[in-house]
Structure 1
């Protein structure tokens, strides 16, 4: 399952030994640039983080492309609303637009809509690359330690830990139920698929909550006292070569965003 694969990559990648605080700071700086900078800087951030995640960290290129492509899938669902405008047939055509008449209405594809869609896609790719770099190179236990250093309330951290564990229980239960249904000849034909999916959804919650209660009973049997303790964080040193590359890269991107046409100060 994809969640187990993400967890496996986060513990087994080649950047695992780097301090989580350094990786979080690096990803946060690039995320801020990706959100505020122009299309050129966003494309550069996407390529740079793709290189770091795949080549330096050793994440599978096919898995990384699938993860980034799944993000674009949600973007494609909103693409018609960005590109197409609906207006009365009597309205004046927008310059540089392609229109299709449907009765008394026109579906208009504008140049401004295309630019907006392209800019949004580059921003989504850049921001998603920052998040993928962080979650594929840093285990959740280390991220919890970073949040604790940022003085996030302990109650919030405990809820996050429980929900993270709950996701594994939910996905594992869904996979087991789906496998059992397929073994009994389920999901054959459209009607059978709909009925089996409804059965899966109905049984999933009860089965997951039962396993969750068993997990909580196991915690209490091992001395759980209403406080989930975090694993001690591992300290490491960022090599000078990586510090230099990260610093120079962020400086160049910032300077480009400040000086190039369309930048912050132009």
Structure 2
């Protein structure tokens, strides 16, 4: 199970040792261009670049990446269909009669839905690139350098840690229940889920207490320390990202004006 967690992949990929500040800057710049783009083409190009970097450069397994990207794509397709039906305007592309109701799809709504879909795809691909190639500890360090309040960062780090504690305990208990046919039918499943919830509450409370005691014995005083240092990225890479951002921003405006 550990092999399938995002945290494990973030620590074991081909882009793991690329400067995290550079990856954050690159991903955020692509995300901003995607969100504010008024062209369908530019977000799709950015999505293609991010997917290529994540799958072929970072070597993230497809069996992990496809489900992460598949769910947003499904919602995006549903959005295109619904917006084509809700927003009327332009040419009528399709008309379906269901139970004496005439359901029509218009070009304005479909084009608007495709724009939302392309933005969503580019944004999700950019976010997945950052999440699957950069460990959370490094992201927390960068946020601390950006002067994010330490209280918020400490809470976020503790939450991130305890998510995996909860997941680990849940897997253990569910495996024990499965070996005893705890999910053989609906009635047994409900009973097992109730037991699972009760055990998880007690176990996670106990492990949280043990973690706090261990942290206190190591000098924890309410402020989590990040010991690693991250160097600033090279100027040439920063210039490359700026040039790339300007290129796609200008392409978005040109496509909007109908020149391409």
Q: TM-score range by the shorter chain?
A: 0.7 to 0.9
Q: Contact 1:35–1:127 at 8 Å: present in 2 too?
A: yes
| Structure 2 partner of 1:133 | 129
Separation in 2, partners of 1:200, 1:83 = 44
Q: Is residue 81–residue 113 contact of structure 2 (8 Å, CA) maintained in 1?
A: no
Instruction: Tell me by how many angstroms 1:181 deviates.
Output: 1.0
Number of aligned residues:
256
Name the structure 1 match of 2:112: 116
Does 1:153 pair with 2:149?
yes
Give the match for residue 254 of structure 2: 259
How far has the Cα of 1:79 moved from its partner? 6.3
Q: Report the Cα distance in structure 2 between the residues aligned to 1:162 and 1:116, rounded to whole angstroms.
A: 40
Partner residue, 2:7: 7
Report the counterpart of residue 55 of structure 2 in structure 1.
54
Distance 1:190 1:79 in 2: 37
Within the alignment, does 1:214 sit opposite 2:215 as a pair? Answer: no
Match of 1:197 among 193, 218, 239: 193
Equivalent in the alignment of 2:99:
102
Secondary structure at the counterpart of residue 96 of structure 2 = strand
TM-score, normalising length from structure 1?
0.83
Question: Runs of 5+ in structure 2 lacking a partner?
Answer: none
- After TM superposition, the runs of 4+ consecutive aligned structure 1 residues lying more than 6 A away are none
Distance 1:56 1:255, change over 3 A: same
- 1:250 is aligned to 2:236: no
Deviation of the 1:122 alpha carbon:
1.5
Q: Deviations over 1:169-207 (max 9, x none)?
A: 111111111111101112113333333233323432232
| Equivalent residues of 1:144, 1:157 under 8 A apart | yes
Describe the shift of the 1:176–1:80 C-alpha distance in structure 2 as closer, same or farther (beyond 3 A).
farther
Residues 13, 110 of structure 1: CA spacing in aligned structure 2 closer, same or farther, 3 A cutoff?
same
The farther-off stretch of 199-208 and 142-151 is 199-208
The TM-score with structure 2 as length reference comes to: 0.84
User: Which of these residues, 167, 170, 187, is aligned with residue 171 of structure 1?
Assistant: 167
**Given the superposition, is the C-alpha separation of residues 167 and 79 from structure 1 closer, same or farther in structure 2, using an over 3 Å criterion?**
farther
